[in-house]
């Protein structure tokens, strides 16, 4: 997990709408629904389309053994490094 960042304007959970979040350097965690989300650095993502980190990892795991195996390995490495 990333280092705790100083509290400024709290992020709003895209899943439940709660403002009860813990801010980290590259992500934030919702204290209501217990999901962690990456902060968008390159582009804005609509809240309706934002996936929790655990959901992204689940999708990547489900792709294992497919024709996209090399890309899946790259994604797993990226997720592991975060």
pLDDT in tens, the chain (82 residues): 455 555 466 788 989 999 999 999 888 999 999 999 988 654 566 666 678 888 877 877 777 656 667 777 777 777 766 5
Which sequence spans correspond to the domains of the chain?
Answer: 1-50, 51-82
* DSSP notation for 8-50: -SPPPPTTT----EEEBSSEEEETTT--EEEPPSSS---GGGP
* pTM value surpassing 0.85: no
Confidence at residue 17, expressed as pLDDT on a 0 to 100 scale: 92
Confidence at residue 26, expressed as pLDDT on a 0 to 100 scale: 86
Q: What single DSSP character describes residue 72?
A: H
Cα 78 to chain centroid distance, Å, stands at 12
Helix (H, G, I), strand (E, B) or coil at 7: coil
């Amino acid at each position: 997990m990333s280092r705790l960042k100083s509290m400024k304007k709290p992020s709003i959970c895209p899943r439940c709408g709660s403002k009860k979040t813990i801010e980290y350097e590259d992500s934030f965690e919702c204290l209501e629904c217990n999901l962690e989300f990456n902060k968008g650095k390159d582009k804005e993502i609509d809240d309706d389309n934002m996936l929790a980190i655990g959901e992204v990892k689940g999708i990547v795991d489900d792709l294992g053994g497919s024709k996209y195996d090399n890309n899946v390995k790259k994604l797993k490495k990226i997720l592991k490094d975060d």
